[in-house]
Amino acid sequence: MGDQSYDFVVVGGGSAGCVLANRLSESGRHRVLLLEAGPRYHPLERVPISYSQFIDNPAVNWCFMSKPEESTGGRPIPVPRGRLLGGSSAINGLVFVRGQALDYDSWAQMGNRGWSYDDVLPIFKRLESYDGGDGELRGRSGPLRLTEAYDRSPLYDAWFAAAEEVGLKRNPDYNGASQEGICRTQTTIHNGWRMSTSRCYIDPARRRANLDIQCDAHVESLLLKEKRCTGLRYRVGNESREAQARCEIVLCAGSINSPQILELSGIGRPEVLGAQGIEVRHALDGVGENLRDHYVPRLRWDITQRGVTFNDRARGLGLAWQILRYALTRRGFLALPSSPILAFLRTRPELEAPDVQLHFIPFAIEHIKKRKLAPEAGMTIAMCQLRPESKGSIHITDPQPMTAPEIRFNFLSAALDRETLVAGVRAARRLVEAKAMDAFRGREINPGSKVQSDEEILDYIRGNAQTAYHPVGTCKMGTDEMAVVDPELKVCGIEGLRIADGSIMPTLMSGNTNGPIIMIGEKASDMMLEAWR
Ligand SMILES: Cc1cc2nc3c(=O)[nH]c(=O)nc-3n(C[C@H](O)[C@H](O)[C@H](O)COP(=O)(O)OP(=O)(O)OC[C@H]3O[C@@H](n4cnc5c(N)ncnc54)[C@H](O)[C@@H]3O)c2cc1C
């Protein structure tokens, strides 16, 4: 590694960090260091189905757990986060969603100039390469290669028909003009391989002489001179090292670790820092606050027809065939995202845009903790409210960098969230009860037909829901007193330090977060390169 002085230091090689490492080093004019706490790669990461193996695998996953709360029925909830080059984009469910125009317009309306839908649309186009949809709205030649989930089944046809029956039209491109409808999932899969940001942004940049990539490097704290961030301290094995940044450091450690690093460095709420004996270098009340995530009840039904679910198709000889098929054609069960069909719908007709997302899953698992396919053929719908209002927090409870911070979701605290989740469960049930499902629908296993009243449904959610693994907002962008970064992603009151990852989202956008966070990485690189032209 030699000289540890760089123009830019990127902390965390995840969805956003890999984008920044690529873009900041692209011209060759800047020396860039990328520090990633996890390993460079995992031999299975390129196979899409690896998401099911990585969900609780500490070799590539931080495996955080939330604090038990009333809204989780006293359960801790798993909070998986990627811990390897590519970050969570290398372990995720491969679903690609941009969100709705109103997400970004509302960010702009909060005072975040430059983040309206019209502002971010060209960036979404630039980052993707997708053959479908309207060329005015979709990108054709970006680094992130997207394809539609490739799988056909009479069960999927029945889902589409059932949706039509309940008034939900088929939408050929939910990332185009409108999100509403039922659709085949657009995925970060190309030719049967996972398209992580490590694959799409780091592989093409690896050989650049001006880009150093250090994996297994855990950043412990930032180095501050008064109100300027000049460098950082990180650990590789037992060795403590320092790196200096002539221009800027950009934190891309994700929604859990970016606020943690700030707090460990003395930037945050004085009472949180004081409780851990950390000197307050810069008081910033928003650090670690405003945590939002999609809270997801999973509904499960038995399926009466044989051979249409993966409980039948991926067992015994069927599984051997799926493996052979993948090896020969890169298709089948192993090449699918976590959900091959999505729907976005409004739970009330007067709403302007969908407020609920359904993930259709062509199998049932035995138990969320075991993640084994259930012996009975079944189907699952994972449902979430798109824009939850409940806010939690993430804070350190120990000055040791290796201790996981405390995650409190505070789910269901907003009345709108409770109402929308109940309405969403009812909407999913209506769809499965449509005539088109008659040939497939068996018994409702979860929550079960006895669970009917609002309170019973909420009880089921408290006792069983998981998250969609979309924590955001803990270093929110804004112009108010709770903002941690300004609209240029500069940490308020500190020079030489920006944040670019899921933590900067002021609100949770309507859908899965990987694509929007890649967009954040792209936009951050534009702003940094412009500042240091
Ligand atoms: C299991 C799972 C399934 C998901 N499914 C989907 C999906 O299907 N579609 C979708 O759009 N989104 C999905 N998501 C969410 C999406 O992948 C994430 O929101 C997104 O990847 C987060 O990007 P990020 O850049 O904020 O953080 P990450 O991608 O998590 O990157 C943060 C990086 O920083 C590193 N890091 C952290 N702390 C330190 C430190 N102290 N020092 C050095 N490095 C550090 C981490 O190891 C990691 O590599 C899923 C997420 C998970 C976990």
Give nearest CA residue, ligand 1 atom 52: 92
Residue 453 CA to ligand 1 center (angstroms) comes to: 36
Q: State if residue 357 touches ligand 1 by the CB under 6 angstroms criterion.
A: no
Tell me if the domain spanning 150-184+295-385+412-464 has CATH number 3.30.410.40.
Answer: yes
Catalytically active residues, by annotation? 470
Phi-psi region of 237 (alpha: psi -120 to 50; beta: other; left: phi over 0): left
Counting from 1 in the atom list of ligand 1, the atom nearest the Cα of 234 is 42
Strand-pairing partners, residue 82, are 61
Do residues 92 and 469 make contact, with C-beta atoms less than 8 angstroms apart? yes
Which band of pLDDT confidence, cut at 50, 70 and 90, is reported for residue 2? low
Q: State if residue 473 touches ligand 1 by the CB under 6 angstroms criterion.
A: no
Q: State if residue 257 touches ligand 1 by the CB under 6 angstroms criterion.
A: yes
| pLDDT for 369 | 61
Ligand 1: which of 11, 35, 51, 88 to mutate, judged by most atoms within 8 Å of the beta carbon? 88
Write phi, then psi, for 333 (nearest 5 degrees): -50, -40
Q: State if residue 12 touches ligand 1 by the CB under 6 angstroms criterion.
A: yes
SS3 (DSSP) at 260: helix
Tokens 């997801």 identify what position?
A: 296
| pLDDT for 256 | 98
Q: State if residue 11 touches ligand 1 by the CB under 6 angstroms criterion.
A: yes
Q: State if residue 522 touches ligand 1 by the CB under 6 angstroms criterion.
A: no
Q: State if residue 142 touches ligand 1 by the CB under 6 angstroms criterion.
A: no
**Distance, CA of 48 to chain centre:** 16
| Angle at which helices 415-432 and 454-464 cross, to 10° | 100
Average per-residue pLDDT in the chain?
Answer: 97
Domain boundaries, the chain: 150-184+295-385+412-464
Q: What percent of the chain has pLDDT over 70?
A: 99
Nearest to 525 by CA among 489, 472, 473: 489
Say how far apart CA 532 and CA 251 lie, in whole Å.
17
Say how far apart CA 451 and CA 30 lie, in whole Å.
60
Which band of pLDDT confidence, cut at 50, 70 and 90, is reported for residue 314? confident
Counting from 1 in the atom list of ligand 1, the atom nearest the Cα of 217 is 43
Residue 501 CA to ligand 1 center (angstroms) comes to: 9
| pLDDT for 370 | 58
For 5, which DSSP code? E
Say how far apart CA 385 and CA 296 lie, in whole Å.
8
207: tokens are 């050989």
Say how far apart CA 460 and CA 442 lie, in whole Å.
20
Which band of pLDDT confidence, cut at 50, 70 and 90, is reported for residue 313? confident
Residue 412 CA to ligand 1 center (angstroms) comes to: 24
In angstroms, the Cα distances linking 401 to 13, 37, 257, 405, 443 are 18, 12, 10, 9, 48
The string of pLDDT tens digits covering residues 101-153 is 999 999 999 999 999 999 999 999 999 999 999 999 999 999 999 999 989 99
Counting from 1 in the atom list of ligand 1, the atom nearest the Cα of 258 is 38
Say how far apart CA 439 and CA 301 lie, in whole Å.
13
| Angle at which helices 514-531 and 15-25 cross, to 10° | 30
Omega before 259 cis (within 30°)?
no
Across 475-494, average pLDDT: 98
Counting from 1 in the atom list of ligand 1, the atom nearest the Cα of 337 is 8
Burial class (CB in 10 A: 0-12, 13-18, 19+), 533: exposed
| pLDDT for 368 | 62
- In the chain, the N- to C-terminal Cα span, in Å, equals 26
Nearest to 360 by CA among 342, 333, 344: 342
Instruction: Find the angle CA(312)-CA(428)-CA(71) to the nearest 5 degrees.
Output: 100
Say how far apart CA 325 and CA 47 lie, in whole Å.
13
The string of pLDDT tens digits covering residues 199-229 is 999 999 999 999 999 999 999 999 999 999 9
Ligand 1: which of 10, 94, 407, 513 to mutate, judged by most atoms within 8 Å of the beta carbon? 513
Which band of pLDDT confidence, cut at 50, 70 and 90, is reported for residue 18? very high
Q: State if residue 189 touches ligand 1 by the CB under 6 angstroms criterion.
A: no
Counting from 1 in the atom list of ligand 1, the atom nearest the Cα of 16 is 25
Give nearest CA residue, ligand 1 atom 20: 514
Residue 502 CA to ligand 1 center (angstroms) comes to: 8
82: tokens are 């990627």
